[in-house]
Structure formats: C-alpha cells, structure tokens
C-alpha cells in the first residue's frame, strides 16, 4: 500500500503543475540538482594497518659489514619495505633501536647501534625513501616520518628502509674492551661470531 500511496501523490503533483502560465515557465528556467545521501557505515577502529607477507607489501632488508677500518659499520644491501594503510592518523614514524640482536632475538652485549637512514656515502639504491598518497615525508638521520596525513579516507604509505648502522662500545662494556677499541688493537667487530646472522629492529609508530 505504501508504494500505491507514493505513486498517487506524485500523480497529483504532476497535475497541479501541468498548466503553468508563460511567466511561470520563465521563472523556472535553468537546471536544478537533487542530492542522494547515505551513511558509509563503520570502517572499524581508526589507526594503522601493517601489511605483511613477502608478496603483499613487506620484505626483510639485508645488510653487510664493511671490511678494514670500517668493519664496525653495517651497510644496507637490500632495503626493507613496509606498507602501511592508515585512517584518522596524523603521523607515522620509523625509528631504529640502538641494539644489535642475534637471529634468535638475543641482544649482543657491549654493543650499541647508531642508525643513519640518510647516510650520504651509501649508494642511491640503498638510501631510505618514502612513497605517500598524502602528507609530508621526511627522511632524517635517525627517523623516517610522514606528517599531515589526510583526514579523509585511507592513506597509503610505503617505507623503504636503508642506510647504515654503526656499532660502538656500550658505556656498560668492560673497560678492557673499551681500551682495546680505543687503541685499535682489537676491533669491536670481534665481539661478533663468524658466519652468524644479526639483525636490527625498526619500530613503526602511528600517532592519532
């Protein structure tokens, strides 16, 4: 019955306007618009969605240790990549921890790490970079960041993490190790095991 009632009301409206005078025709000349409106519904909690998997926006980076007097410096040979989708987020940042880990996640004692994401001496193919759909990207020495992200819809950010990491002796290290490094009689790289895999952890933070 509701559909029949609606059709009747429209028919009556047409009849009421079917015979306007010439002056009324001129008054209604031109175009008119009419809107459709609807609620988009809930998209879930605002924040960041980190895409994982080797073929879906993420790859583990690789690094190698230099030789000679620079054997305390790790250099990127393949950048790590991470894709982040964000909604209602004002900033995304990437920072590196200051510790070196074994492949099992055990902290290497007596060694600190200083990360340089924008190391100028590295090859251009291994420098850090950021691809964005909105916001302002910054590649700093110790931080990668995207600020002023769009407040409308979803923003996509791709981080390509490269650069160098320099090993230094921790303040808490034994004095004998500090003296050996300072005197160049025994490099800090000797605290590492031969043919072992080490890793550096980068942390992504989303700020609303």
pLDDT tens-digit map of 168-194 = 888 888 888 777 777 665 567 778 888
pLDDT along the chain (208 residues), means of 10: 37 39 52 63 68 61 85 89 88 91 90 88 78 91 91 86 90 81 68 87 88
Q: pLDDT value at position 127?
A: 83
Residue 177: both structure tokens together? 């190790």
Alpha-carbon distance values, 159 to 19, 83, 84, 92 (Å): 66, 6, 8, 10
> Could you tell me the pTM of the whole model?
0.72
Q: pLDDT value at position 45?
A: 62
Q: pLDDT value at position 192?
A: 84
The answer to whether the beta carbons of residues 162 and 126 sit under 8 Å apart is yes
């Amino acid at each position: 019955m509701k559909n029949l009632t609606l059709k009747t009301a429209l028919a009556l409206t047409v009849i009421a306007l079917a015979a306007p005078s010439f002056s009324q025709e001129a008054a209604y000349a031109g175009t008119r618009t009419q809107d459709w409106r609807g609620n988009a519904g809930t998209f879930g909690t605002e924040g960041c969605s980190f895409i994982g998997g080797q073929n879906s926006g993420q790859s583990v980076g690789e690094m190698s240790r230099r030789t000679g007097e620079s054997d305390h410096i790790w250099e990127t040979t393949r950048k790590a990549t991470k894709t982040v989708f964000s909604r209602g987020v004002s900033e995304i940042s990437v920072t590196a921890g200051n510790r070196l880990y074994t492949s099992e996640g055990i902290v290497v004692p007596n060694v600190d790490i200083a990360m340089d994401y924008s190391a100028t001496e590295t090859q251009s193919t291994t420098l850090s970079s950021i691809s964005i759909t909105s916001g302002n990207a910054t590649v700093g020495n110790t931080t990668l960041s995207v600020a002023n992200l769009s407040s409308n819809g979803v923003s996509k950010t791709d981080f390509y993490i490269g650069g160098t990491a320099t090993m230094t002796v921790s303040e808490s290290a034994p004095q004998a190790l500090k003296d050996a490094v300072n005197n160049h009689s025994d490099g800090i790289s000797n605290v590492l095991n031969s043919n072992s895999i080490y890793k550096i952890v980068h942390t992504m933070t989303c700020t609303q």
